Structure 1
Amino acid sequence: METFQQKSGYKRIFKENKLTLGLFIPIESYTGSIPTMENHIQMAQKAEQLGFGALWVRDIPLHDPYFGDVGQIFDPWVYLGYLSAYTKEITLGTGSIIFPLRHPIHLAKEAASVDQLSKGRLILGIASGDRRVEFPAFNINIPSRGEAFRETFAYFKQLLGEDFPTIDSKVGTIQGNAGILPKTYHSDIPIIITGSSRQSFDWIAEHGDGWMYYPRSIYQQSQSIQSWRNATSTFKPFVQSLYIDLTEDPEEEPSPIHLGFRLGRKHLIHFLKSLEAIGVNHVMLNLKYGMRDAQEVMEELALEVLPQFPSFN
């Protein structure tokens, strides 16, 4: 069986010393926390047609009005299944599924189902969670979410890796008499761990197939990536998000917005080249805070920016 590195959504967006670009869904600019989700499938198909490497969704089970963003509104697994039917090649990623809030049996069933339906296009970003209102709602002790993350991760991996596993875990027991179907499309699903997820750096380097982090200065990000490369014996990609408000003036200097910049395309290209030079392998662009029409921005990015950061066949 082919590995996910050889053929799948992984191969489309990850290559050593190269950077590719993806888009967070919803692909729209909006104020407040709730997007319109108008023409969302058409926008996803347009992103694929224009050559973006990946579409990313988030796991936000509850509307917390104080957090300021509900992502794509729809459940990530239901929505990824829907996206898989309306797209053909673009990578489908999660940024990120909150492991302590979900049972590993459901996670394994959901992830393998999406992976099969999309023919191996799933990239599974996972995290321990940071929206504090969610944990008491699920009757989970916030300080224990790091341990719950590890327990869920181990159970999840064993379910997908063995036909009839024997599992004795705090979150459940299987006595070798049951297993999960379907299995993954390739030998496994690539798992990208987000932030620290309440784990040690060595644990992340050993168990993750990649690392996802938040936007930081070039210097800070370069230090993190160097530590990541030193901790991993084989190539494991580094992924980050970036909010952008792309202006009509291609020369406009960058000015800060939440987790990103308002800037012209020439400065965006320069910044992305700097990220590529320090070892960032994929940037998830978020258009939420943009002042222009999202489709217009997508088309400009595809014409002027994507050719310098192409996805791979």
Structure 2
Amino acid sequence: MTPTASLSLQAMKFAISYSTASLGLDPDRMVVYAQHAEACGFEALYMPEHIALYRGAMLGSMELPTDLAVVDPLDALGFVAAATSRILLGTGVLLVPYQHPVVLAKRLATVDVLSRGRMRLLTVGLGSLPGEATAVGVDFRTRGRRADEAIDVLRLLWSGGAEGVSFHGEFFDVDDLCIFPKPHDATTLPIHVGGSSRAAARRAGRRGDGYFPGGMLTPEERVAQLELARSEAAAAGRDPAALEYTRWSSIAMTRERAETLAAEGVTRVVVNVTSTDPTEQQDEMSALAQRFGLTEV
């Protein structure tokens, strides 16, 4: 291992995902899962979002079951926050074009304040199901532009004072608007951008605090998208080096695999448990924590 790779690996952060669609809706089980992840030293707990499903909804080549139980991630993360004390809260991804940014700004700030500053790994995406957009009255073809405006409105509302802020865009229009409370000891919340397209990489560079691409990309496309995100950040007058780079990985990943990811510029990995048994899930978390020296668990 080269000295550069060693330093990068030491700085890498590890997070874990919880999906009610695969792990269930039992609130006690969710709390125990989050508490063990926190005890193991995982940086964050991520939760996904689907607002609504319908017959024929396809994720790639797979049809999604219509009875797939996906909870609202912000409500669920707020619930988890009440039972934990350190673990950060993340979304992977929140479908920002389908949310009104005024309402979303209030909800996110509320979770952040009540968790004492832990709503800090918000990752937003566009969504890939046309019927989901139709269900909430959004033109699927406009979701990219809506997302861009929503991100701008969120940041504007969080940073604004008692005198109010105004925004006049294609989709959102507010005058002298005030949103309180603000995020905990901050004037904004970090916003990471998720997706598997070059448009997502450009959005991350122009507006995001990080980029979280999907899992089904070739190595060459990953390199191209990261370079694109960084070049867009520079063109927008932002620091490309400050852009965090998050990737999915296996909970059984080896140190060699982690070193490879670190060499590719990855700053954070998010993993999923593979077992459906709660005890075995905890064993998987503990094994990763011990392998990478997160804690003494």
User: 2:236 is matched with which residue?
Assistant: none
CA 1:183–1:291 in structure 2 vs 1: closer, same or farther (change >3 Å)?
A: closer
Counterpart of 2:59 in structure 1 is: none
How far did residue 221 of structure 1 move? 3.0
What residue number does 1:240 align with?
A: 247
The C-alpha deviation readout for 1:21-69, integer Å capped at 9, x for no partner, is 1111138xxxxx5542331111111111111111001121113463259
Match of 1:206 in 2: 206
Q: Is the 8 A contact 2:30 2:80 kept in 1?
A: no
1:188 maps to which residue?
188
How far does residue 84 in structure 1 lie from its aligned partner after superposition? 1.3
* C-alpha deviation, 1:144, in angstroms: 1.2
Q: 1:306 to 1:193 in 2, by over 3 A?
A: farther
What secondary structure is seen at the aligned counterpart in 2 of 1:86? Answer: coil
- Corresponding residue to 1:20 among 13, 17, 21: 13
Q: 2:151 aligns with which of 130, 148, 153?
A: 153
Q: Which consecutive residues of structure 2, in runs of 5 or more, have no partner in the other structure?
A: 1-6, 56-62, 234-238
Partner of 1:119: 116
Q: 2:66, 2:261 → 1: CA distance? A: 26
Residues 93, 125 of structure 1: 8 Å contact kept: yes
TM norm structure 2? 0.79
Output the CA distance in 2 between the equivalents of 1:172 and 1:148: 8
Give yes or no for contact 2:74–2:111 (8 Å, CA) kept in 1.
yes
1:303 aligns with 2:291: no
1:102 aligns with 2:95: no
Q: 1:143 matched to which residue of 2?
A: 141
Establish whether residue 56 from structure 1 lines up as the match of residue 40 from structure 2.
no
Q: How many residues align?
A: 268
Structure 1 counterpart SS, 2:138: coil
Higher RCO (CA < 8 A, seq sep 6+): 1
* Preserved contact between residue 23 and residue 54 of structure 1 (Cα < 8 Å): yes
User: Aligned-pair distance for 1:307?
Assistant: 4.6
Q: Distance in 1 between the 2:104 and 2:278 partners?
A: 32
Give the Cα separation in 2 of the matches to 1:100 and 1:61: 12
Give the counterpart of 1:293 among 270, 277, 287: 277
Poorly superposed stretches of 4+, deviation over 6 Å: 69-72
Residue pairs, 1:259-270, within 5 angstroms: 265=252, 268-270=254-256
TM-superposed deviation, 1:174: 2.8
CA contact (8 A) 2:157 2:165 kept: yes
Q: Does the Cα contact within 8 Å between 2:94 and 2:123 map onto a contact in 1?
A: yes
Deviates more, 1:151-160 or 1:166-175: 166-175
The 5-angstrom pairing of residues 4-43 of structure 1 reads: 18-26=11-19, 33=21, 35-38=23-26, 39-43=29-33
Q: Please, what TM-score do these two structures have when normalized by structure 1?
A: 0.75
Q: Which shifted more, 162-171 or 207-216?
A: 162-171
Gaps of 5+ in 1: 1-14, 28-32, 247-264
In structure 2, the CA distance between the partners of 1:139 and 1:198, relative to structure 1 (3 Å rule), is: farther
Query: What letter matches 1:127 in structure 2?
Result: G
Give the aligned partner of residue 173 of structure 1. Answer: 173
Q: Residue deviations 1:192-236, cap 9 Å, x none? A: 011267847444312111111012455543443344444443321
Q: What residue identity is the alignment partner of 1:187?
A: T
- Cα distance change of structure 1 residues 300 and 138 upon mapping to structure 2, 3 Å threshold: closer
